[in-house]
Amino acid sequence: MRKVVAIYPGSFDPITNGHLDIIERGTRLFDELIVAVLVNTEKAPLFSAEERADMIQEILGNRAPKVRIATFEGLLVTFAQRQNARVIVRGIRAVSDYEYELQMALMNRRMQPEIETVFMMPSEAYSYLSSRLVREVFRFGGTIDGLVPPLVIERLRSKLVRL
Ligand code: ADP
């Protein structure tokens, strides 16, 4: 049978335990999961694409042999096709995610009908968690222990001290 390669795209600015939860669920379903870090995001990112990808690599280490980390620019479906990926994985936290995700999934399907988008729900413990909230809470001195890996806290600390 053909290997099923899935792509999990996002800004990951920075990666959170919610993202890691989806990655773990994804590796149970697919033969290979490419975590694809978006370079040209509309939002001005806190971390460069390389910094975001390096963090993910260091956190996953060799613990996740089915996961590959990449950065991409431009259309996701073009990148997915080049990687021979048949599935796009997205995480859905609350109903509020649904409308935007539905629009994107249907636009991607219009451009590339053979690629399916699969939505996955994280553990409810992470259902309110976003990279934006992590950045804001950390910036103003709140605790983000348990919401991101310790390495992310370290990187946030050195990044925000330098700003
Ligand atoms: P984007 O800028 O593409 O929304 P994000 O890095 O914010 O990128 O998120 C990437 C993907 O991970 C999206 O599908 C998003 O819905 C999902 N996601 C983000 N945070 C969580 C979380 N706490 N639990 C589950 N999925 C999440």
Q: List the CATH number of the domain containing 99.
A: 3.40.50.620
Identify the CA nearest to 14 among candidates 126, 153, 162: 153
Confidence check: pLDDT of 163 > 60? no
Residue nearest to atom 20 of ligand 1 (CA): 130
Q: What's the structural domain count of the chain?
A: 1
pLDDT in the model for residue 43 = 73
Q: Write out the residue range of the structural domain in which residue 81 sits.
A: 5-162
- The Cα 150–Cα 138 span in angstroms is 13
Confidence check: pLDDT of 162 > 70? no
Among residues of the chain, what percentage have pLDDT more than 90?
A: 89
- Please give all residues whose beta carbon lies within 6 A of any atom in ligand 1, as ranges: 10-12, 16, 18-19, 22, 90-91, 93, 97, 122, 126, 129-131
pLDDT in the model for residue 85 = 98
Confidence check: pLDDT of 156 > 60? yes
pTM of the model: 0.95
Mind listing the pLDDT tens digit for each residue in 104-127? 999 999 999 999 999 999 999 999
H-helix or E-strand spanning residue 160: helix 150-162
- The Cα 36–Cα 77 span in angstroms is 12
Mind listing the pLDDT tens digit for each residue in 36-89? 999 976 778 999 999 999 999 999 988 889 999 999 999 999 999 999 999 999
| Residues labelled catalytic | 19, 43, 93, 131
User: Span 132-142, mean pLDDT?
Assistant: 95
pLDDT in the model for residue 160 = 86
Residue nearest to atom 3 of ligand 1 (CA): 10
pLDDT in the model for residue 41 = 66
pLDDT in the model for residue 7 = 98
pLDDT in the model for residue 154 = 97
Cβ-in-10-Å burial (0-12, 13-18, 19+) of 74 comes to exposed
Cβ contacts of 5 within 8 Å, gap of 6 or more = 30, 31, 32, 33, 34, 83, 84, 85, 86, 87
User: Span 120-144, mean pLDDT?
Assistant: 95
**Mutate which of 37, 90, 126, 152 for ligand 1 pocket (most atoms within 8 A of beta carbon):** 90
